[in-house]
Amino acid sequence: MPTASALRIQIEHSLERRFPAALTPVPRTIRETAATGIPAVDGLLDGGLPVGAISEIVGPASSGRTSLALAFVARRTREERVCAWIDANDGFDSESAAANGVALHRLLWVRCKSPGATAKPWARLDQAMRATDLLLQAGGFAALVLDLGATAPEHACRIPLATWFRFRQGADRTRSSLLVVAQKALAQSSAAVVLECAPLNVQAGNGTVLSGCKYQVSTGRIRSSTTTLPIDGKRKPPAVAWPAAGMGQREARA
């Protein structure tokens, strides 16, 4: 009587023209990553955010989502790479970005503005999506940040899934890291990584001066991960601290 291994080889041999590895799992490949510059987050992500994929950084206001995106862009621009920030609500603070280490001469800032005072909220969002699509198709950007942090979830959820699928293909083709900063996850299956941010505490010095902030970052989803991450509720996700020196007035609120 043939052994199980012999039967497996026989089945795969008969199906090799249609299914090259019918019973043998395809070996896991290691996805290329880029460090965020924050050791705790890089450790959580097995090295950093994926290159050529969509990463979502979600959370409420003052949860550290913008600080995390700025840290990643700062790291990329320090490596003499060009990045872009698609500002859907015209709330980007260039002074805070520079204080966080972003090389502004290597950052393209796309400001989306409403054509009129009575324009619908979708107008700016449509501009941001078109700009993201154009930049992904053009290539040459190591990282693109689609900042939808101030966009109401009911409007952001109107973005078609086909758009996210096209963005995923564009990021993969141009080897760009697309970061989506929003209040909730939007890209669904098109996102390789979802990071959920939450505020922990604010440290004040002399009563009115901020001396430091702590944010908690946990993984909502990570695809192609080679490690078991603390998302089962039994282990607490790591808390990541950013110094207050790099935070401007807008960043302290966002």
Residue 237 domain-assigned (yes or no): yes
In this predicted structure, the answer to whether residue 182 has a pLDDT above a threshold of 70 is yes
Residue 140 domain-assigned (yes or no): yes
pLDDT value at residue 229: 39
How big is the CA angle at 53 (ends 107 and 72), to the nearest 5 degrees?
40
Q: How confident is the model at residue 157 (pLDDT cuts 50, 70, 90)?
A: very high
pLDDT value at residue 226: 41
Residue 244 domain-assigned (yes or no): yes
CATH of the domain at 214: 3.40.50.300
Q: How confident is the model at residue 231 (pLDDT cuts 50, 70, 90)?
A: very low
pLDDT value at residue 199: 82
The structural domain count of the chain equals: 1
Supply 79's token pair.
């490596």
The arithmetic mean of pLDDT across residues 87-112, rounded, is: 94
Residue 190 domain-assigned (yes or no): yes
pLDDT value at residue 102: 96
In this predicted structure, the answer to whether residue 28 has a pLDDT above a threshold of 70 is no
Residue 229 domain-assigned (yes or no): yes
Structural domain span for residue 108: 30-253
Residue 164 domain-assigned (yes or no): yes
Residue 13 domain-assigned (yes or no): no
Query: CB under 8 Å to 46, separation ≥6 — which residues?
Result: 33, 225, 226, 227
In this predicted structure, the answer to whether residue 250 has a pLDDT above a threshold of 50 is no
Residue 112 domain-assigned (yes or no): yes
